[in-house]
Each structure stands twice: as C-alpha cells, then as structure tokens.
C-alpha cells in the first residue's frame, strides 16, 4: 500500500512538473504582439470582450473577471450565444480576446467576419500561430505547449494552465503600466475584507471617548481613570492639545520605580512625550501598520491642531481583516 501511495504522489509531481514546464516556456513564445496587445487595451475606449468555447471558455471567464477587477472593463461572451443574438453586446470600440488552443474552433471562427466588419481589434490566444484564428487576428498570443499533462495527451491541462497564466500576465502588465494601486483594487471589491480594510478610515472605527487627563493629575487618579475607561491608554493634554500618553505599561513601570511615592507622582512625570498619533482621515491599514511596527495596541487620533479626537485600538483595526 505504501508503494501505491508513493506512486499516486508521483502522478501529482509529474503533473506539477509538466504544467510548470509549459508555463516556463511561455517566455520563449512571447513576441512584440504582447506589448502591442497591452497598448491596444490601454487605448481602448470600450471594453475587452473575452470569448472561448469549452475549457477555453472557462479560462476566459476567469481572465475577464481578473481584468474587470484590476481596472480593465471586461466581460465574457459565450460564442454560441453570441451567434444567436448576443453579438449586439459588442460595440465597434471594443477589443475582442478570442481564446482557442487549436485556433480552429468553429464557434469562434464563425464570429470573425462580424468582428472584422464591426471594426473590432481581435487578439487571438492560441497554441497554433498558423491557425485560422491566429491569421485572422490583429495580434496573437502564443500559448503552445509541447504536450498536455494528461497521460493520454487529450484532456486540456497544460494548455489551459498556459492560457490562464497568459491572461494573468496581460492583467498584471496592464496594472503596472496604469499604476493600479491597492486602493483602486478595493474600489472594485468593497464587499470583501480587503475592500473594507483599504477603504475604511480611522474615523470610522475609532472610539470618540478617548481618555484625556491633565498633566498635573496624580497617578492614583490616572489609574482610576484608565480603569474606568477600559482603554489601556490615557492622553495627557495641555491647553486642549496632546503633549503625551500614559499606557498600562508606563503605570506598572512607575509603580516599580517610585514605590511609596507612586500615588503622588503627576502624569507629566511618567508620560511618553513622543506619542504615536494618526489622523482620523488615515486608512485603517496605515494604523495597523503603525501598531505592528511599533508593537503598540492603541494610537491616539488627533486633528491638524493636535487636539485629541479619539483613539483607535488594534482590535478594531484587525477585526476587519
């Protein structure tokens, strides 16, 4: 049985190696058509319409979704449905990305006359540069593989992986040329945790009842105030402006240092005079990064005049992730 398990694992390894080799070889197949395809999409005033049949269509749906979520308006059009009325979805200023490993898929080839007459730029993604689709396209992306990972060399495996990676390469190249940022990505994903984290600002999660104490308050009273507020941090203020902070750790260290004098010590004597602060308009990702970098659990939120407007805690920030 152990031998059988090892053999089964080897099947997986062989698949990984076959598909990895197919992906590595894509670099050798890349031509200037790739850069021209990126430039054409950047200049496109319409959408990128992706079409493909069967397994190629499934990969096409993913490519269209990736493009759409990374700043390139795109959708998938089933070639069969297109030929029965959905061609009306294609405008003359759209680019069509047609995917077919053989480049001879009937359902795709039947669309070519319409796209040519409609003035669409056609980008073909095939494994055969000499195919009908490749020769009738304006640009060709070669995703040829030596053989499929399938032991019968029949089931689309290495070829569909190559399609997927070429589609990802298109999307990533477009992102980099556009300067697409994480904030831009979040705009298209507002419902997910990433979107919430990137779009939410400190003012949306901060506690507005930040604990403020005068610099002359005794530590005995500071302890009571911190305990009542259940924040673990107190903002020390003077003339309405933040001048320092006192944390639970500061209190414990002061107890050990001052012993019997502890309760008569004033807040300004143990406060940190260079507290970390953040703007209420900052994104919570910035607050999270600051907390991780400085190994702190709370940050005082101040306005442009250094007045305390709240406090943001690590829990409130991390729970959105």
- In this structure, the answer to whether residues 28 and 159 fall within a common structural domain is yes
In a domain, 187, yes or no: no
pLDDT score recorded for residue 178: 87
Angle ∠(253,257,263) on CA atoms, nearest 5? 85
Q: CATH number of the domain at 234, please.
A: 3.10.580.10
Range list of β-strands (E), the chain: 48-52, 74-76, 95-99, 121-126, 139-142, 212-214, 233-238, 241-247, 277-278, 298-302, 308-313
CA distances from 157 to 137, 178, 303 (A): 25, 32, 57
Structure tokens at 11: 């099947």
Place of tokens 């569909």: 160
Average pLDDT, the chain: 87
Do 67 and 156 belong to one domain?
A: yes
- Using alpha carbons, select from 142, 176, 158 the residue that is nearest to residue 42: 176
Judge whether 197 lies within some domain: no
Q: 253 near 246, Cβ under 8 Å?
A: no
Below-50 pLDDT ranges, the chain = 318-321
pLDDT for the residue 40: 97
3-state secondary structure of 233: strand
CATH code for the domain of 108: 3.40.50.10490
């Amino acid at each position: 049985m152990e031998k059988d398990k090892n053999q089964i694992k080897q099947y997986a390894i062989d698949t990984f190696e076959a598909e990895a080799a197919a992906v590595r070889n894509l670099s050798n197949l890349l031509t200037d058509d790739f850069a021209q395809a990126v430039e054409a999409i950047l200049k496109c005033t319409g959408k990128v319409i992706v079409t493909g049949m069967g397994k190629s269509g499934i990969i096409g749906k993913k490519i269209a979704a990736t493009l759409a979520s990374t700043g390139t308006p795109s959708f998938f059009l089933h070639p069969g449905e297109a030929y029965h009325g959905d061609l009306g979805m294609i405008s003359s200023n759209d680019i069509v990305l047609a995917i077919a490993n053989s480049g001879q898929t009937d359902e795709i080839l039947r669309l070519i006359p319409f796209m040519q007459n409609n003035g669409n730029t056609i980008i073909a993604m095939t494994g055969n540069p000499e195919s009908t689709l490749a020769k009738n396209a304006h640009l060709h992306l070669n995703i040829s593989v030596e053989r499929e990972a399938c032991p019968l060399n029949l089931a689309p495996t290495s070829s569909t992986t190559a399609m997927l990676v070429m589609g990802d390469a298109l999307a990533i190249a477009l992102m980099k040329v556009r300067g697409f940022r994480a904030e831009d990505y979040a705009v298209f994903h507002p419902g997910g945790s990433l979107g919430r984290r990137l779009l939410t600002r400190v003012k949306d999660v901060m506690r507005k009842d930040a604990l403020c104490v005068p610099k002359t308050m005794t530590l005995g009273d500071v302890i009571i105030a911190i305990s009542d507020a259940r924040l673990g941090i107190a903002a020390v203020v003077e003339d309405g402006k933040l001048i320092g902070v006192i944390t639970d750790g500061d209190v414990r260290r002061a107890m050990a240092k001052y012993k019997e004098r502890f309760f008569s010590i004033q807040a300004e004597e143990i406060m940190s005079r260079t507290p970390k602060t953040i703007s209420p308009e900052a994104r919570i990702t910035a607050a999270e990064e600051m907390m991780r970098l400085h190994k702190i659990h709370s940050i005082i939120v101040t306005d442009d005049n250094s007045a305390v407007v709240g406090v943001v805690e690590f829990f409130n920030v991390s729970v959105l992730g």
